[in-house]
């Protein structure tokens, strides 16, 4: 490690016990391993995964082991390097790929590390970024131009990259696309699809606040199945809004009813991109809804490392996509629990935490 002068302690939002909740605590600065760097976190964004871990649902209770610091979407400055890392990296402004791959399995050796079965996830399997400092392997750094992307937008690159991959898996230019689910990733998707030349983007969600953001991000038409006036007839609305010609469905909600709707709504020979994760198994009519419709299904998780990041950079630095309207709150680390409450109650979109801005 370099001789960079650091404090010995820091604040971090940690899950102390294998139970719901988290606590803001003071802990030692992370040790920097030989192949790692230490980042002073300038901005970190809360993700749906963090909500699952906070609430300690069935997935998180089977995957995450306390104690652990939460968070995996971030941007900051390198302040120290491990013994095997070039110390000239100190001062670099970076974001991070949250999936740390093994580098030695068949997927990694085949240049498809995003499918590495040994992936370790920041904030899930090792300490995350809801802290003043974080230590990560140098290989996951994504060098970012501070003059083009400020820390808040830079911290969104990892999440935005997931939407880039899901939205551009099939060329949307000139196509009619339906986005089902307007959480942050779905909202990212709408903006990406419009920037990529989709002729029409229609969107559904049960939250009016999110639907207003969907329109702001470029959706041509939106629908709330939970509205009394609409009586939940999503499929009928999708057919009407698209004139029975949805080329691509991007399913972002993970809701079982929405996944079923995706297959019924897409046209014959169309494409369904599945990104939202359902809470339980979903029963699908394979014959009528898949085979006889000749549809193509692509299930996606995460980003292609680092191909997707290059596409992300181009969309954001060029100004083709502006994520600022989706940042609803910016809070210091000591108000992080307030941020989780806002998200749980559907009163926020992307919330940025600034750990070093007390």
**Catalytic residue ranges:** 49, 52
Q: Which residues contact 90 (CB under 8 A, 6 or more apart)?
A: 2, 4, 78, 79, 80, 81
Residue 97 · residue 142 · CB < 8 Å: yes
Tokens of 182: 């307007």
Mapped onto helix, strand or coil, the DSSP state of residue 227 is: coil
Residue 323 · residue 156 · CB < 8 Å: yes
φ, ψ of residue 21 to 5 degrees: the values are 100, 180
Closest CA to 249 of 208, 209, 215, 289: 289
Mapped onto helix, strand or coil, the DSSP state of residue 279 is: coil
Residue 74 · residue 47 · CB < 8 Å: no
Q: Which residues contact 158 (CB under 8 A, 6 or more apart)?
A: 72, 73, 74, 95, 96, 97, 98, 303
Cβ neighbour number for residue 339 with a 10 Å cutoff:
24
C-alpha to C-alpha distance for 172 and 279, rounded to whole angstroms: 28
């Amino acid at each position: 490690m370099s001789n960079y002068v650091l404090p010995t302690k820091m604040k971090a939002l940690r899950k102390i016990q294998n139970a719901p909740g988290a606590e803001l605590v003071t802990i030692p600065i992370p040790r920097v391993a030989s192949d790692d760097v230490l980042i002073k976190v300038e901005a970190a964004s809360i993700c749906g995964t963090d909500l699952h871990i906070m609430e300690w649902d069935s997935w998180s209770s089977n995957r995450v082991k306390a104690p652990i610091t939460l968070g995996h979407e971030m941007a900051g400055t390198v302040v120290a390097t491990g013994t095997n890392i070039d110390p000239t990296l100190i001062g670099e402004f970076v974001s991070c790929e949250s999936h740390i791959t093994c580098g030695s399995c068949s997927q990694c050796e085949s240049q498809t590390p995003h499918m590495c079965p040994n992936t370790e996830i920041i904030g899930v399997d090792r300490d995350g970024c809801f802290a003043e400092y974080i230590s990560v392997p140098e290989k996951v750094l994504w060098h970012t131009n501070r003059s083009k992307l400020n820390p808040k937008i830079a911290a969104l690159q990892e999440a935005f990259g997931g939407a880039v991959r899901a939205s551009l898996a099939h060329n949307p230019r000139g196509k009619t696309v339906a986005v089902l689910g307007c959480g942050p990733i779905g909202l990212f998707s709408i903006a990406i699809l419009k920037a990529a030349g989709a002729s029409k983007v229609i969107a559904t969600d049960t939250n009016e606040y999110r639907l207003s953001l969907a329109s702001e991000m470029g959706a041509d038409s939106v629908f709330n199945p939970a509205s009394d006036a609409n009586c939940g007839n999503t499929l009928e609305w999708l057919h009407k809004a698209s004139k029975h010609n949805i080329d691509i469905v991007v399913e972002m909600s993970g809701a079982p009813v929405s996944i079923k709707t995706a297959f019924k709504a897409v046209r014959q020979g169309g494409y369904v991109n599945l990104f939202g994760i359902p809470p339980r198994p979903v029963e699908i009519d394979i014959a009528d809804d898949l085979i006889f419709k000749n549809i193509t299904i692509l299930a996606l998780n995460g980003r292609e490392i680092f191909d997707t990041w290059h596409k992300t950079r181009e969309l954001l630095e060029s100004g083709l996509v502006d994520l600022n309207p989706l940042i609803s709150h910016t809070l210091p680390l000591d108000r992080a629990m307030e941020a989780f409450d806002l998200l749980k109650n559907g009163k926020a979109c992307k919330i940025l935490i600034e750990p070093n801005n007390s």
